[in-house]
Amino acid sequence: MKQVEIESLIKGFLLFFLSMTTLISIIIYTNYTKDVKNLDIELLNQMRICSFDLKCKEFNINFANKDKEIYKLYKNNGTISAYFPILQSDNNLLAISLSKKNYQKKLNNIKKELLKESIPIIIITIILSIFFSFYTLSPLRKSLRVTEEFIKDILHDFNTPLASLRLNSSMLKREIGENKKITRIQSSIETILSLQENLKSYLFDYKVQQDKFELEAFIQKSVEAIEKSYPHIKYNIDIPNNIKIKTNPQAFKRVIDNLLSNASKYNKIDGKVDIKYKDNKLIIFDTGKGIKDTKQVFKRFYKEQDRGMGVGLHIVKKLCNELKIDIELESQIGIGSRFILNLAIASNSD
């Protein structure tokens, strides 16, 4: 199940469950207040009977001044009491009360009964919420599957014309030599290929496919590929030869290629890109324009420049999450940006 499906499932479950739980809570509270009211009426009736024969061990009996309303239940600090007239007495009333402790016991019994009744209802609500979530998710899953299959077919059909374009542009360049127009065509072809790879990154799950490889040689290949397009940028690699990591090489390549592409594309003339490894962290620093909003930059379609589509860094973040690589960004306008990849898990894998 994809991340968007899991997120939709959880949100659907919470929406239905919390709505039903809120409704159930209101009903339970209403029943509780009703039961407490019935308890008070029952206690008042018992006290009234007690006022006739005084045979009631549960209640405390005393006398009070005749300044209280009779046949009415009073609640003072949790103690329940009522006052009744005494025959042939004009100055005193009979005070019958129930201690706070005993009254609380009766309230607790009401709560226990309501809780017993509520548990099966809550269990049924959870089951219904799960069923409701999967039911509402099914159209989304079906739509995603259809879209994915369509995109996969398009990506597959791209291969033939792109291969033909690359081959013919190379042959044409060989025939007439270096030419700016041919170079632009080849650059556009590489851009389309990069977009194709980004689309693949959305569709395929890389978490289970892992290989162990040498980091310095891996980075060197990516740098060699990109420096052809940016000859004015100086690339420095400072990675020990013995560093090996275990992760999905294809997904990791998309992360590195996107970061190097951005570091080069938005760099200044005669700028530099430094790639360094230290304490299980791969640091990519550029002397570019810098990023204003480092919190928004990983969101889909967010961009601060006219160039690009605003999906490159979003793909980087998505792939890092899949590969369990923490990514941090530090940036200053006019000075440059620093991307820090925490490779602790990948570096320490067997």
State residue 233 phi and psi, 5-degree precision: -95, 140
- Give the pLDDT confidence of 298-337 residue by residue, as tens digits: 887 777 666 656 677 888 888 888 888 999 999 989 899 9
132 and 36 in a common domain: yes
Q: How many domains does the chain have?
A: 2
Q: Domain boundary residue among 90, 110, 136?
A: 136
**Is 127 within the bounds of a domain?**
yes
**Is 318 within the bounds of a domain?**
yes
Q: Which residue has the tokens 């003339």?
A: 269
**Is 147 within the bounds of a domain?**
no
**Is 143 within the bounds of a domain?**
no
331 and 212 in a common domain: yes
Is there a contact between 323 and 251 (Cβ–Cβ < 8 Å)?
yes
User: What is the phi-psi region of residue 285: left when phi exceeds 0, alpha when psi lies from -120 to 50, beta otherwise?
Assistant: beta
pLDDT grade, residue 31 (50/70/90)? Answer: very high
**Residue 99 structural domain:** 3-136
**Is 170 within the bounds of a domain?**
no
Q: Give the pLDDT score at 165.
A: 82
342 and 212 in a common domain: yes
CATH of the domain at 240: 3.30.565.10
Is there a contact between 273 and 229 (Cβ–Cβ < 8 Å)?
no
- Give the pLDDT confidence of 65-89 residue by residue, as tens digits: 888 889 999 988 778 999 999 887 7
Q: Please name the helix (run of DSSP H) or strand (run of DSSP E) that holds residue 139, with its range, or none.
A: helix 100-176
- Give the pLDDT confidence of 153-176 residue by residue, as tens digits: 776 677 778 778 878 888 888 888
Q: Domain boundary residue among 136, 160, 182?
A: 136
